[in-house]
Chains A and B, each alone.
Chain A
Amino acid sequence: MKPVDAVVVGSGVVGSIMSMELANAGLKVLCLERGRMIDPQTDFAKPYVHDELKYDRHSDIFQDLSRETITFRNKTSETALPMRELGSFKPGEMVGGTAAHWGGNARRFLPHDFEIRSKVIERYGAGFIPEDCTIQDWGVNWDDVEPYYDMFEHIYGVHGKAGNLNGEIQPGGNPHEGPRSREYPNPPTKRTPQGEVFAQATAELGYAPFQGPGAGMTQDYQNLYKLMLLECHRGGFCSSHVCAQGAKANPLSAVLPALYKQQNFELRPLCNVIKVNTDSTGKQATGVTYIDARGRMVEQPANIVVLATYCFNNTRLLLLSGIGRPYDPQTGRGVVGRNYSYQTGGRVFAFFDDREFNPFIGGGMVNTSIDDLNGDVIDRSKLGFVGGAYISSPNSGASPIKSKPLPHGTPRWGSEWKKAVAHNYRRVVGIHIHGSCMSYKQHYLDLDPTYKDANGLPLLRMTFDWHENERKMLAWMYERCIDIAKAMKPSRYHAHAIPTKYSIVPYQSTHNCGGAVMGTDPSTSVVNKYLQSWDVPNLFVVGGSAFPQNAAQGPTETIGMLACWAADNIKETYVKRPGPMM
């Protein structure tokens, strides 16, 4: 194959933006995608997109586990077994990647999140961090990342109301957000009646409710790449689905159509990269090897290699390529696979016998939120946990198979169940906890010794469980949410139980993070603050894999921000002077 300037592995939120930015800088860019080509106009045409069974239960846009999955165990003393069907999370497999079917919540992390270890020690002392907790600073601070959050928001047409404009608190926004340099590109969503119930209850309790930011257009919007995104009709079917209206920003609507017009860009779908190749010194990447649709093994030379795949695959490709020292949980040494983390969540439901709503009207990004319990807003010294959560009341468009919360004590089936379903579907206000997840010495990713993918290569193995710190945090968040539920004065309410063990069975979130984390010290990170491999300077590993731990806000906006940040540093610094960036 003819050499290219840059090969980008994956065409999702990271791969599309990095390809676009590097192509704009004049580089010859090849993007390799394991999934199939997508034409949103025909692949996701109305009315067929409004099919809950097809997309939520049997989706052919999620990873095909018959070819590749992960194995999982709660702890090292167990034998990891393959995730045979999708449950806890839903990585994508097509042009556009996982972000094609995201819900559209687009939230920035807090400044605190990027320097969490230093800030926690500064305020509470080093003893406050659990002994096995391996959280670390990201190596970047708010001033570094703010312009790139801003850039991503202008690619994805994010809607919202600023709560902090250049240090000045603004009414109606999130007062706890980091200072932003300008307003959101689009105005916030309107507030639903359920959101109003939540807003009144939280305001009564002294919190500051705001409309959550997201990427479902609140008006027709021309983005940074001169693409038109159309106003959202609030018909639901967002998460797990691809928007037929092009109203949800994702790689297919907000980036790829502009990229296809670039002469110096090529996208090759159905090409599954299995290895990053290096020269005899092991210090320089020479390109990648992939298996094409016909099953041929192809070597693709490139000057720059960008791994832009899902958290799992970025880590697995490094392990399969022998780049970076694999993490060993016994000694704590090694970096690849270290600091795997996830996202905590919880649900409280309030039921109103005397009120009905229109729960099917909404979108994945329509919600009313509070951020008062997140980051370091509240003194944690007496609470005894690291981390936080945002609380929201979402109206994502209640689809009938999966979105029918029922009061506790309702039978699971039969006439009483049917009565309860009929009565409650339109009478619920949900209160959701969306919380951080710290990283720990014993939670990591490595290669499975037994199970193989369809190409005979070892599967990635996940060892993960909920830590006492997260359970403690959730217990406290649940108490706050129950206070909020009570303030709504519902007929009844209930809270989900806090799981004692992490299970890969129920859907939780596609927010898997870490494994190839960024940082300032090569002994505790895979990539430097520019997402550049410490070992192989012409290799960049970008995505959720770079999060040293996960913050409360969903990861997508920060993943997009990291793509903008890494691309800009490659363009402005690396291309001019290839080599390790300091």
Chain B
Amino acid sequence: MPNSLHAYRFLTEPEVRFLDAAVARLIPSDELGPGAKEAGVTVYIDGQLASVWGVHGRNYRQGPWLDGTPQQGFQSRMTPQEIYRVGIQEINAHCRAKYERPFDQLQPERQDELLKTLEKGEVELPSLSSKLFFDLLWRNTEEGFFADPLYGGNQDKVGWRLIGFPGVPSGTYKDHLDKPELYRAEPVSILDIQTGKAQVDAQGFAKHVMLKPEGGK
């Protein structure tokens, strides 16, 4: 299990438990393959929160702070670090008040229900909109599942395997541009190349190992 090998830079233990549980509902492990928890999405989110983005370092952060219209976009004075920290505390407090246990100890069906009410903005949290929290969590979950594994998510390239994305392109793509034959390759990540697990050609493009067509398809 990847997570047991990881030390966290930003997240606290209850936050890790919350996120492991939440992302496992957002992208579950099922017959199609591993889900977001197994892909290391919590590790990914931890890394993002510890980065420049975690404090919105490249965002405009001067007041006055007004709510504005939906068309005017993100106007919260909270940074992603604060949104996760405060949001998880307040959602767990909501769960304890209603179900006498934190989010990660609820039944999966109940977790799904709660995530849906967060998504609709129907849970009244003291400090922030539950929709704001959910939208950020979903955005980061999807990113972590499909970004290069160098960011800690998409471990073993499970997101790319799911859809058939080969990762770092091969130098032979131009010969396939107009061809109908399906291009199926073992995905190659930047991390694979930098750790010597995948080879590159003279121009630096990935050398792909082609996958055999699946039988019967």
Contacts and interface: CB of A to CB of B under 8 A. Distances in A.
A338 interface: no
Nearest to A245: B203
A358 B205 contact: no
A356 B53 CA distance: 36
A48 B151 CA distance: 12
Given A47-B190, A231-B174, A361-B177, A83 B163 contact: no
Nearest to A74: B71
B162 A421 contact: yes
Given A66-B61, A237-B169, A79 B174 contact: no
A352 B172 CA distance: 26
B193 interface: yes
A232 B112 CA distance: 46
Contact of B119 (A360, A412, A450): A412
A297 interface: no
Contacts of A58: 51-53, 58
A12 interface: no
Given A47-B168, A47-B206, A452-B62, A85 B163 contact: no
B171 interface: yes
Interface in A410-437: 412-415, 417-419, 421-422, 425-426
A415 B59 CA distance: 34
Query: Among the interface residues A48, A51, A87, A413, which one has the most CB atoms of the partner chain B within 10 A?
Result: A413
A260 B176 CA distance: 37
Contact of B146 (A231, A362, A400, A412): A400
A189 B164 contact: no
A66 B173 contact: no
Contact of A66 (B25, B58, B138): B58
Contacts of A79: 66, 68
A422 B163 contact: yes
B69 interface: yes
Contact of A400 (B138, B163, B172, B190): B163
Interface string B49-67: 0011100111111101010
A169 interface: no
A48 B163 contact: no
Contact of A50 (B35, B68, B160, B168): B168
Interface residues of A, number: 71
Given A358-B182, A358-B183, A421 B28 contact: no
Contacts of B179: 193
A60 B182 CA distance: 35
Given A65-B58, A190-B178, A400-B163, A84 B73 contact: yes
Contact of B169 (A81, A189, A236): A236
Nearest to A190: B178
A415 B178 contact: no
A192 B169 contact: no
A144 interface: no
B206 A501 contact: no
A47 B194 contact: yes
A422 B168 contact: no
Interface of B: 25-28, 30, 32, 35, 51-53, 56-62, 64, 66, 68-75, 112, 115, 119, 138, 141-143, 146-148, 150-151, 159-160, 162-174, 176-180, 182-183, 190, 193-194, 200, 203-206
Given A58-B58, A418-B27, 17 more contacts: A57-B143, A60-B58, A65-B59, A73-B72, A74-B71, A81-B72, A193-B178, A361-B169, A398-B165, A400-B146, A400-B165, A414-B25, A417-B27, A418-B162, A419-B32, A426-B163, A501-B71
Interface of A: 45-48, 50-53, 57-58, 60, 64-66, 69, 72-74, 78-85, 87, 189-193, 231-237, 244-245, 356, 358, 360-362, 366, 397-398, 400-401, 404, 412-415, 417-419, 421-422, 425-426, 450-452, 501-505
10 closest Cβ contacts across the A-B interface?
A235-B169, A46-B204, A425-B163, A190-B178, A53-B147, A400-B146, A503-B71, A69-B60, A81-B68, A65-B60
